[in-house]
Structure 1
Amino acid sequence: MPQINYNERSWAIDVISEINIYLANKSWHVKSAGGENTIRNEKSSLFPDVLIFKDSAKKIILQGWELKMPDTPITDTELINNAKIKSEILNNNSFILWNVTSAVLYVKKGNTYSILKSWDSIDLHSRSEVKENENLWKDLLHTILEDLNDYFEHGEITESGSSEILAIDKIIDIVLENIDSTAENIKENIKSSAVLDAQIDNWWLSSAAEYGFSSQAQKDAKHKLPTLSKVILTDWFFKIIFGNIIKRYFNEAKIIETITYDTTVSEALQIIANISEHCNFWNIFGNNIANELVSDNAWKQLVQLNVFLSNLNIGGVDIQILQNLLQSSIAYAKRKVAGQFATPPQLADLLTRLTIDKKGGITFDPCCGTGTIIKQAYSLKEEYEIGQEQIIESIWASDKHSFPIQLSTLTLSNPGNIGKILHIFRSDVIELHVGQTIAFKDPNNGNQVEKQLPMVDYVVSNLPFIREKEIKKLNPNIKEINKLIREQTKAKKTLSKKSDMFAYIPFYLYDIISDNGKIGLILSNAWLGTDYGEIFLELIQKYFNIDRVVISGKGRWFNNAKVVTTLLIATKRNISDPIDLDRRISFCTLKEKLENIADIKKLSSEIILNKESDWVNIQSYSINEIKQLENIGIPWSGYFANLNWLPTVAEKLIDSKKYFDFIRGERRGCNRMFYPAKGHGIEDEYIEPVLKNLKKASSFIATSQTQAFCCSKSIEELETLNHTGTLNWIRSFENQMDKTNKKLLPIALRKPNMFWYEMSTKNMADFVVNINFDKSLFIAMLDKRSFFDQRMIGFSIKEQYKDENKIFLLALLNNILSMFFIESFGFGRGLGALDLRETKFKKDFKILNPELLSDAQKKEIIKAFQPIFNRDRLPLEKELQQKDRIDFELMLLKIYGLDKYYDTIKQTLLHLYKTRFAVKEKKRKKA
């Protein structure tokens, strides 16, 4: 009687058994079969039903087989595709499909699989016939094995050249397909656990930026649970991979093999905790938020991975292959989870080489993230043949969160330090202090070992980029450092409340750094061109001597449009020591993408020696020269170009605030009310022209394009005047809600000494400038005095200069020197946009001094500028090539006796301009 429950799994076990019996006494290329413990009759299965090994010890997998019953066609597309994926997972070049009746051998050539051999010889049609006709399929099996052995022996099927036993990227991709189901599982559990909800919110607040999101942005809220799910799934993946690798070092780790298909997630967590108790590695095996909430399908796949590795003879696998498995896991996971925010290895290499002088010195990354930087410091020490014991003792790393700690520990783990205590621990950077007691576990006996945080010689780190609004919730006490700064420096200024988090951290690090120790930090470029950045710069130079600043002049270092970064290298100084005015600071611009620079060591040597090359442009200024430039008003964002000409030219400049009052554009909120659409019915006297933007201003003239509602009368006055159109307009908004803060508009729009519906018309201007520039640098003249939107800065001519010719003033605002000031004042965003500040313009924007000119010279300037004024503006590079522009610039500079500086000024301007746009990747043209 046929066995009605005889299925694919039953048959696969019989096939594996028969293969091993048949090959027992043969010295063939194929030696054995396995896989009986990983067989799953599910679509989510990661591994083939049968594994063919090159050796009896089952260390080297040659091929995988997919088995089906006769009722599944051998040509089934899903079957073939699944088999290809599993072959890729095993890094194999071939696989066999067999549905009892027929079998097909697929072989990979290049990137495609094609059929090399087919076997058709059994006349069976249903699964009920398989067991009772086993002699038929066994005969076919023997034929398949004979043919297969011949193919391997004669090289028609080649073994994989990969040094890895698994294609980790494929497995991670499959496991991460469970993100949505895991996120849904978490969502359901949050409904019944306020504690879990609070834990996840706190994690998101501090971690969102690491994954490219803002914890405060409503549009990013939808990414919270999927991101956490990605972290959880990857965390489990690492626990399983690492737990199986360390079995060869610790017998206690072998209990990971007890995680099988019958093991629950909670039971597995207990097994993992048991391993950590005896083998340390708590950074890797520790429990993270919601680890127990992986979806059912994800858990099945993770168990399959564990069972597969448990049955592989790990002890017999070459240690380098296991190391490759681990490191490829980490590298791919970093790309998948941390993605564009993980520090690129080349950048970490450059940072450590520029910072670490004495290779044996204690090196610390207090915001270690995925561990790339501290791993590079480890490798640098190895390169200089520092002994392993000394390296391990001199490498320290910490992070506020457990997942980065896990990644960093995995990144540093290698055969040379297994069994050693790695100084990687969990701590908030602002709580670090010398002598701080940190508990580790001895991997060899599980005993707790307490160590004190030593004085550090070098801090190398990619500091977190967390905005000021998020700091209040994330690190409400971080601003306490201002009290210490005030006490230590007697400075009148302290760090601005608008500072991003990275601005505070160097001051917390100061006390853990040894005398003449150094910091090498990756920072957002905001400190080079913001109001808070100026204060940061002033204060940090009391604590550190800045040695060099490095930026990219060819592409972004992080593939994220919102982040443009810099390297800051500085040496600790005694706060009370006088400033050495002759000491020089180097400003370095890389002229090539880091990934295209083959020799980072050579690049770092050139930077250290201040030697320009095809890879790097270097400008160097003394502290005294920098003070001169700062007095002129040039921020540090401008110092990457040649400014040696500027002090001489500055003698012919004057602060523009002498001629103009600076006004920030009107910001009132509720655009639908204050910028009414046609048919509004408001009386004409309450409608004013307003300039919303300069997008339609193709020349130097800007025309007000929009109507604005401006009423300063009370409701009673309007009723007396019987201005019903205006009354109806105001009353139509009385009960509407503000879309931002969800309050009624009369409350949300309330301002001191103003009606809630009032918008002032006092801020009228003659000229306007964007606060965000793209390719054209210009200041526009309004066709008539108007008020304008908040995205612009207005220039209102002072009363005593009202009679000055506006075209003349426009020419002084739109020449090569004014364009240089505009370009140098801002800092570039990730898409190449230039951000400017009203405060900077008001304080430091300079123009050529009109008081040095005669009336005749003014007329000459107007005449030379007229052709430019009469045509459309052009993008900067093209603009500077126009004959009328060249003629005007040379004539203008000649009048002021500065014409010999024309080429130098132009080169400086273009250098800064091109550097700003270098971060904006050019789209590849389609072939």
Structure 2
Amino acid sequence: MADERTLVADIKSYIDKLPGFTAEVEEHVGIKRMDLLVRYNNIALFNAEFKRPTTVEGQTPMYSKVIDDAHEKANKGPQTTKYFVTSNFKQYIVWDNTNTDLPLYSRYIYTLQLESIIKDDSDLEREDVKKEIEEKIKEICEFILQVYRGQRQALPRPLGESFITGLNDHLNVVTDVVAKYIPNNIISKWWKEQGYEPKEPFDYRDKERMARYVLYVLANKIFFYYYLKRTFKNIRNLNFQGVKEIKELKERLERAFQEAKEISGDYETVFEDSEAGQILFLDEEELEPELTLLKFLAGYDFSSLHQDLLGNIYDRLINPEERHANGQYYTPIPVVDLINALTITKKDAKVMDPACGSGTFLTRAFDLKLKMYGEDSNELKESIIKDLFACDIAPYPTHLATMALASKMVKYNPEVFPNIIRSDFMDLRTENVIPRLRTEYQEKMKTVARDLSGKENVVSFKPIDAFVGNLPYVRQEKIKNKEAEQKKVKDFLKDHGITYTVKENGKLSTEPYCPDNKADLHAYFWYYMVPFMKEGSRAGFLTSDTWLNTDYGTPLKEFINRYFKIIAIIDSSVERWFEDAMVNTVITVVERTNDREAIENNEIKFVRINERISELIKDMDDAIKIARNLERGKDSKGVKIVRTMRQGDIDFSDIVKGKLFQYLRAPDEFFRLINNDNMVPLENIMDIQFGIKTGANDFFYVEDVTDKYDEAQLKEKFGLRIGETKKLRIIRSGDKSEHVIEMKYLRPIIKGPKEYTDQGKLKVSGTTKKFVVVINEDDKSKVGRYAKEYLDYGEKNPSGEPYAERETCKARNPWWKLSPQIIPEIVFGELFSSTFIYPKTNFMLDHTMYLGNMKNEYKNDLLAVYAYMNSSISYLYPDFLGRNYGGGGAPTAFMVFEVKKLPVIKPEI
């Protein structure tokens, strides 16, 4: 296998082929070796530093130690150069050595990446890889020469991009080392503190997650340390010169952070030690990569890191799977500014973000309020910060939010600390919304809350004027401890009289509102915030748009209609605001009131944004202008009010008319159609039901694999002769076990519309056929021999919970007897991805298929209804009345109770 010297020699040969270029290998600068010095017409143009990708230093060309070495050689060699290159042979980064106004790690101006996959050093010797490396080296030489000649501009990458890229690369290196030394007892305790499900044993990926989290927090402390240094000049620069042991590194960091706390007089929650943090100091192998990370961080001026960068740090560094599981996504600044402008209507408003993430809504609210005041002073900024409140259940974003908001103060004041708490919003109370983090005023305050570190502090609460935020995107089935969360909401609303009247056994009683069992997590926030609000308070949230059309959205919409005027619902026609979140989003702005007449007469504005929002809102003034126009009922460039609806005219409980999405997207012709007197609900002319629900698809849904076996295999494995397969078949169940069963107990099963062919026959793939096991005998002793053996199998397997013991099966008597299915005259899928089917064969149909039979008086109208349901008119229904869970790319779904309400033309016409 070629060593580093040989690989660099190959690169020299590539450069020497280029007209005017020459390269020299192994020029010495003191004890350091310059891998490559490149000249053009005898002028020293750039030097390059190469590290093999399998080494620690070669994991990334952004590794600060490698950059420092290359930079030093570029400046101290016999031939200084204006540019230098760092590379691990997979990636090549060009640095500008002339732009000394920028921090060193912000000076990279060009980057190239091999398309070939490099798994180990031996891959670098493949001919295809060598050829690609030669092409990249040629491209780099040409780029640097063009910049040198002034033919191309050397633009440094944005600070945020260079910082995030470099930080991410350094964290990857350190994480790999730290994760190796995490003891099980520490990760077990940390795992529970994060609210994750209990898990043992922990694998390397789990330890990697913990290591990365602890490193996030360390980086956050460094950010904040240098922020404080901006105000407190006697806070010293972090210095790790001469550190030889991991213990000494730990002591220096603790001493520096303690000094920062003492000089500033506060910020214990940012600098506080934690047991989890000790994993950074368990082995000497951690020392070098951690020192390199700290040196990288020390190379930046954090006073210039703005909120959009902090949000991007949060969004890009948090593991995508973890963000997806927790529904956490950084909100683009233009979206935040529009929501804030519509929701924060007065300059002295008390503003709260109940799921604050990295604090974007609060920091932009700060900027908006400062603009509304029309003046600028440190005292005013301190007053604004006191009026901003937030919480988040996750620790790392609360650290980021705290730092982002505190950095808004020009001069530090120990009496002013960001009102941000780590907490589930549903654990807060009106009496102790946010803790004050100073302790000298405790006697004047009333109740107890906890700060970021978990310490108790006494606080008092003032009503919130504006709730803003990007609520978590967590589907109902992923909500942890759902019943407990529902109880929190019910108890809280009951305490504050947010109830409705019910009549039971002739008596009236009151019940508190509660999110529907099928409600996604964001719905809980809508209910829970009401007691925090006063008359005229507003809320502006970015949420998934599913609640506009789903059944769980019906009680939510009725609740909103009871306590709020709906000011506006805003949708984008051209983009998703979160590219990697598989959801479509909608902005909803509401205003709290108990005035029923005001709610009834309120005009809801349904708004569509028809251009990319980043093009429409380039600064806060643009957002304010759009918001003010919307308040006055006026359109703006790229922003159109497509419809206004009197709130009292919408029946939010109606399955069709209560779906709000149609008012955003449907043309006027659609409403003329569905409100026409000649239209009736589908259920008026047709009986509709869903297909079979087995309760145990792994048992009942099987494949016929008989034809996969030859005669000898059938006899050896199953004791069957080939002639017996006319009545006996080999089936493979969902758990991959294989059984003999009588053919008469197998019925073909259709699981989706695509399994029909044009002839209405079951679609097959090769020789594999899909069947459902249908046994109608009530007495097992009367069941065929092999079918009885299969039932016995179902009563014993799988271990732990046999199929027969599942609640979904126990409800039947006997457990194996499926409900009879009608022979349908029309069939269609829950997902509207294909046509309404006119079936010609008698198959069993899965519950995701809907079966329809014309009522007796309309039997002769079947083909007419079939034709209408396959017309372009009916295809408007899924677009405007269906539910889409895939961010726009997935088929639209209808539940069976919704299908029954779809409008069709009266057959009498």
> What is the TM-score normalised by the length of structure 2?
0.69
Matched, 1:46 2:64: yes
Number of the residue aligned with 1:334:
314
Contact 1:703–1:782 under 8 Å retained in 2: no
SS in 2 for 1:519: strand
- Aligned CA distance change for structure 1 residues 193 and 619 (closer, same or farther; 3 Å): closer
Once residues 393 and 613 of structure 1 are traced to their aligned partners in structure 2, the CA distance between those partners, rounded to angstroms, is 34
Deviation of residue 750 (structure 1)? 3.1
Contact 1:93–1:157 under 8 Å retained in 2: no
Match of 1:536 among 556, 574, 596: 556
Match of 1:243 among 202, 208, 225: 225
Deviation of residue 11 (structure 1)? 8.2
Matched, 1:344 2:332: yes
Letter of the aligned partner of 2:826 in structure 1? F
Deviation of residue 361 (structure 1)? 1.7
Deviation of residue 412 (structure 1)? 2.5
Number of the residue aligned with 1:175:
170
Deviation of residue 488 (structure 1)? 3.0
Once residues 159 and 831 of structure 1 are traced to their aligned partners in structure 2, the CA distance between those partners, rounded to angstroms, is 40
What are the within-5 Å matches in structure 2 for residues 430-441 of structure 1? 430-436=426-432, 438-441=435-438
- Aligned CA distance change for structure 1 residues 769 and 274 (closer, same or farther; 3 Å): same
- Aligned CA distance change for structure 1 residues 715 and 642 (closer, same or farther; 3 Å): same
Which stretches in structure 2 are left out of the alignment for 5+ residues?
1-25, 34-54, 79-83, 98-102, 111-135, 324-328, 441-450, 503-512, 707-728, 730-739, 765-769
Deviation of residue 247 (structure 1)? 2.5
SS in 2 for 1:783: coil
Contact 1:689–1:787 under 8 Å retained in 2: yes
Number of the residue aligned with 1:516:
536
Once residues 422 and 759 of structure 2 are traced to their aligned partners in structure 1, the CA distance between those partners, rounded to angstroms, is 57
Deviation of residue 258 (structure 1)? 6.0
Match of 2:610 among 568, 572, 591: 591
Q: CA RMSD in A?
A: 4.7
Number of the residue aligned with 1:660:
686
- Aligned CA distance change for structure 1 residues 300 and 622 (closer, same or farther; 3 Å): same
Letter of the aligned partner of 2:279 in structure 1? L
Match of 2:863 among 787, 799, 807: 807
Number of the residue aligned with 2:643:
619
Letter of the aligned partner of 2:387 in structure 1? S
- Aligned CA distance change for structure 1 residues 673 and 221 (closer, same or farther; 3 Å): farther
SS in 2 for 1:112: helix
Deviation of residue 544 (structure 1)? 1.4
Number of the residue aligned with 1:650:
676
SS in 2 for 1:476: helix
Matched, 1:290 2:276: yes
Matched, 1:792 2:815: no
Number of the residue aligned with 2:798:
737
Once residues 474 and 66 of structure 1 are traced to their aligned partners in structure 2, the CA distance between those partners, rounded to angstroms, is 64
What are the within-5 Å matches in structure 2 for residues 261-276 of structure 1? 261-264=244-247, 266-267=250-251, 270-271=254-255, 274-275=258-259
Contact 2:87–2:93 under 8 Å retained in 1: no
Once residues 586 and 762 of structure 2 are traced to their aligned partners in structure 1, the CA distance between those partners, rounded to angstroms, is 39
- Aligned CA distance change for structure 1 residues 762 and 49 (closer, same or farther; 3 Å): closer
SS in 2 for 1:424: strand
SS in 1 for 2:604: strand
Once residues 661 and 275 of structure 1 are traced to their aligned partners in structure 2, the CA distance between those partners, rounded to angstroms, is 76
Once residues 546 and 442 of structure 1 are traced to their aligned partners in structure 2, the CA distance between those partners, rounded to angstroms, is 41
Letter of the aligned partner of 1:334 in structure 2? Y
Number of the residue aligned with 2:697:
670
Contact 2:351–2:465 under 8 Å retained in 1: yes
Once residues 138 and 501 of structure 2 are traced to their aligned partners in structure 1, the CA distance between those partners, rounded to angstroms, is 67
Once residues 570 and 472 of structure 1 are traced to their aligned partners in structure 2, the CA distance between those partners, rounded to angstroms, is 28
Contact 1:674–1:710 under 8 Å retained in 2: no
Letter of the aligned partner of 1:824 in structure 2? F
Q: Deviation string for 1:640-695 (max 9, x for gaps)?
A: 12457438843112222223222222232234643331422533432223222111
Letter of the aligned partner of 2:821 in structure 1? K
Number of the residue aligned with 1:230:
212
Number of the residue aligned with 2:364:
376
Letter of the aligned partner of 1:564 in structure 2? N
Once residues 755 and 678 of structure 1 are traced to their aligned partners in structure 2, the CA distance between those partners, rounded to angstroms, is 28
Deviation of residue 547 (structure 1)? 0.8
Deviation of residue 553 (structure 1)? 1.2
Letter of the aligned partner of 1:585 in structure 2? I
SS in 2 for 1:844: coil
Deviation of residue 712 (structure 1)? 2.0
Deviation of residue 115 (structure 1)? 11
Identical columns (%): 18
Letter of the aligned partner of 2:184 in structure 1? I
Match of 2:350 among 358, 362, 382: 362
Deviation of residue 481 (structure 1)? 2.5
Matched, 1:257 2:239: yes
SS in 1 for 2:565: strand
Letter of the aligned partner of 1:231 in structure 2? Y
SS in 2 for 1:548: strand
Once residues 524 and 758 of structure 1 are traced to their aligned partners in structure 2, the CA distance between those partners, rounded to angstroms, is 40
Q: Which deviates more, 677-686 or 614-623?
A: 677-686
What are the within-5 Å matches in structure 2 for residues 126-205 of structure 1? 167-178=162-173, 181=176, 184-185=179-180, 188-190=182-184, 194-200=188-194, 202=195, 204=196
Number of the residue aligned with 2:826:
767
Which stretches in structure 1 are left out of the alignment for 5+ residues?
1-7, 16-39, 53-60, 69-73, 96-107, 118-150, 206-214, 315-320, 854-927
Match of 1:424 among 420, 426, 434: 420
Once residues 356 and 197 of structure 1 are traced to their aligned partners in structure 2, the CA distance between those partners, rounded to angstroms, is 38
Q: Deviation string for 1:77-123 (max 9, x for gaps)?
A: 7599899579795334799xxxxxxxxxxxx9999368999xxxxxx
Deviation of residue 49 (structure 1)? 8.5
- Aligned CA distance change for structure 1 residues 726 and 772 (closer, same or farther; 3 Å): same
- Aligned CA distance change for structure 1 residues 548 and 159 (closer, same or farther; 3 Å): closer
Contact 2:398–2:422 under 8 Å retained in 1: yes
> What is the TM-score normalised by the length of structure 1?
0.68
- Aligned CA distance change for structure 1 residues 714 and 354 (closer, same or farther; 3 Å): same
Once residues 165 and 646 of structure 1 are traced to their aligned partners in structure 2, the CA distance between those partners, rounded to angstroms, is 51
Once residues 365 and 328 of structure 1 are traced to their aligned partners in structure 2, the CA distance between those partners, rounded to angstroms, is 17
- Aligned CA distance change for structure 1 residues 635 and 289 (closer, same or farther; 3 Å): farther
- Aligned CA distance change for structure 1 residues 378 and 682 (closer, same or farther; 3 Å): same
Matched, 1:724 2:780: no
Matched, 1:464 2:472: yes
Contact 2:105–2:163 under 8 Å retained in 1: no
- Aligned CA distance change for structure 1 residues 229 and 562 (closer, same or farther; 3 Å): farther
Matched, 1:482 2:522: no
Once residues 50 and 688 of structure 1 are traced to their aligned partners in structure 2, the CA distance between those partners, rounded to angstroms, is 72
Once residues 137 and 105 of structure 2 are traced to their aligned partners in structure 1, the CA distance between those partners, rounded to angstroms, is 16
Once residues 881 and 874 of structure 2 are traced to their aligned partners in structure 1, the CA distance between those partners, rounded to angstroms, is 11
Letter of the aligned partner of 1:356 in structure 2? I
Contact 1:368–1:408 under 8 Å retained in 2: yes
- Aligned CA distance change for structure 1 residues 157 and 306 (closer, same or farther; 3 Å): farther
Once residues 861 and 349 of structure 2 are traced to their aligned partners in structure 1, the CA distance between those partners, rounded to angstroms, is 65
Contact 1:351–1:460 under 8 Å retained in 2: yes
Matched, 1:408 2:401: yes
Deviation of residue 557 (structure 1)? 0.8
- Aligned CA distance change for structure 1 residues 711 and 347 (closer, same or farther; 3 Å): same
Q: Which deviates more, 475-484 or 664-673?
A: 475-484
Number of the residue aligned with 2:140:
112
SS in 2 for 1:439: coil
Letter of the aligned partner of 2:255 in structure 1? I
- Aligned CA distance change for structure 1 residues 806 and 628 (closer, same or farther; 3 Å): same
Contact 2:688–2:851 under 8 Å retained in 1: yes
Deviation of residue 537 (structure 1)? 0.5
Contact 2:830–2:896 under 8 Å retained in 1: no
Q: Deviation string for 1:413-444 (max 9, x for gaps)?
A: 4364441422223232123334426132499x
Match of 2:288 among 297, 300, 307: 300
Contact 2:334–2:617 under 8 Å retained in 1: no
Matched, 1:823 2:879: yes
SS in 1 for 2:867: helix
Q: Deviation string for 1:335-394 (max 9, x for gaps)?
A: 422468211112111111121221332222121101111122122223333542332233
SS in 2 for 1:650: coil
Once residues 399 and 552 of structure 1 are traced to their aligned partners in structure 2, the CA distance between those partners, rounded to angstroms, is 27
Q: Deviation string for 1:854-890 (max 9, x for gaps)?
A: xxxxxxxxxxxxxxxxxxxxxxxxxxxxxxxxxxxxx
Once residues 652 and 819 of structure 1 are traced to their aligned partners in structure 2, the CA distance between those partners, rounded to angstroms, is 18
Contact 2:382–2:409 under 8 Å retained in 1: no
